[in-house]
Amino acid sequence: MSKTAKIYLIYAGLGLIPILLAIVPHTEPKGPFAHPVTTYFPYPLYMGFALVGFLCFKINQIRILFSVLLLLGICFLLFNPLTFQMIGIKSWGIYNVVAMSFPLTLAVMFSIRETRPMDLPNFSRLLSSLIPFIVLGYLASRDVSLFNKIALFKILPVKGLMLPQLALVSLAIFGTVVFLQKDRIVKPFVRVLGITMLPLMGAIWAGFSLIKFLWYDKNKVEAEFLVAVEVSFPSLHIVAAFTIICAILLHTIFRTYWHRVYVDELTDIANRRALDERLSTMTGEYAIAMMDIDHFKDFNDTYGHDEGDNVLRLVGGLLSEELGDKVYRYGGEEFCAVFMGVSGEDAYMFVNKVRRKLEERDFYIRKPNSKREHTSRSNRKKKKRNGKKVHVTISIGLASPGRKSKTPGDVIKLADLALYQAKKKGRNRVVVWDTEKNKASTPV
């Protein structure tokens, strides 16, 4: 299982907490004295959502910014569900509007392509994506009977489901948009927004349960009074849900920033900046390998730069698969691997294994001078038979610290010299720099 998949599972596990809290039976409410903490807790959450929105703006992701601002507004509404009571929308209506409209709004928002931050179409996109909120909010305030029919509309004969069934349809539409999303930058964040639906719907479920409990076996006047008093103060379920949502979004946006700063976009492995920072803290025993793709310039000239990029992805993927976080893209067609606490002899075994695996792997030129299409695995196998098969190899230079090469910068220079010798001796081999004799040795 990949690291990203594990993080998504952790997010989902946290998202289930408000749902579990919603299952716990409610006790008799005691008014504002029952909420000494939750009354003031929303303010740090508002600041957390505002921080996520600011970071989204800084990376020019307007759709993500809109979605976070919308979550901020929903957070305020669910903490203060009587905000629109003056125009006839009570807490029950607020919960229904949010449950049915929010996933559908996100589906509309992320179905439209990204544009520049200050373009006028961004404002029209915001308005168009808010249509579900506007329509349902209007019905909740002006045509209560029609709104009740929509909120209570039954698609399946399911008992005990507090959420409106149309909310499930809205979630299914948003799930389809998440599945079909092609934007590599936006897709991880959209997936995370999908996961945040768990705590959000759990909080709404808890809100419906509370209203039902307050209305149960009480006269109308007393029930309306209890609902008005209790929902005026954030419940534990609402606070827990939005605390989890805010934490997930903050972690995701910081991971996005880290990815942009320290990960090479083409090969999806750590970049030169990450390597420089790691080298600046290295001490003790270690080994550094410099790796270069053989005949890469000729390959680019013959098959085009798009196929050259695919070769870089192939090599980067194999290195990442075999060496994990030890490998970095140094620049161009050159890679670097850092082995902490490993001698040169042991590091040689690792890099030579990678070299052999790459040598044995086939690479098919299916569509020269153009980008490869996204196809199914079965279609890719069919196309392989019709494409030209080539072999991709790498040359590797390996060095360790010695008496005259104590710093990582010195070791990299020696590894480069060993790499030059590997190229000179015929490529597709590993050459180790002997620090004692100050010359290249062990060609393979």
Encoded amino acid at 199, one letter: P
Rounded Cα gap, residues 90 and 81, in angstroms: 7
Backbone φ and ψ of 104, nearest 5°: -65, -35
What pairing do the DSSP bridges indicate for beta strands 362-365 and 334-340? Answer: unpaired
213 Cβ contact list (under 8 Å, min separation 6): 26
Beta bridge mates, 365: 388
**Would you say 105 and 132 are in contact if contact means Cβ atoms under 8 Å apart?**
yes
**Would you say 288 and 338 are in contact if contact means Cβ atoms under 8 Å apart?**
yes
Rounded Cα gap, residues 284 and 341, in angstroms: 7
DSSP calls for 22-77: HHSPPPPP-GGGG-TTTTTTHHHHHHHHHHHHHHHHHTT-HHHHHHHHHHHHHHHH
Q: Which of 28, 114, 230, 333 is catalytic?
A: 333
Distance of CA 386 to the CA centre of its chain: 36
How does DSSP classify residue 263?
Answer: B
Rounded Cα gap, residues 396 and 337, in angstroms: 10
Rounded Cα gap, residues 90 and 86, in angstroms: 9
Burial per residue of 309-325, b for 16 or more beta-carbon CB atoms within 10 angstroms, e otherwise: ebbbebbbebbbebbee
Rounded Cα gap, residues 178 and 110, in angstroms: 8
Q: Which of 278, 224, 287, 250 is nearest to 45 (CA)?
A: 250
| 373 catalytic residue (yes or no) | no
Neighbour-count burial of 194, counting CB atoms closer than 10 A to its CB (0-12 exposed, 13-18 middle, 19+ buried): buried
Catalytic residues: 333
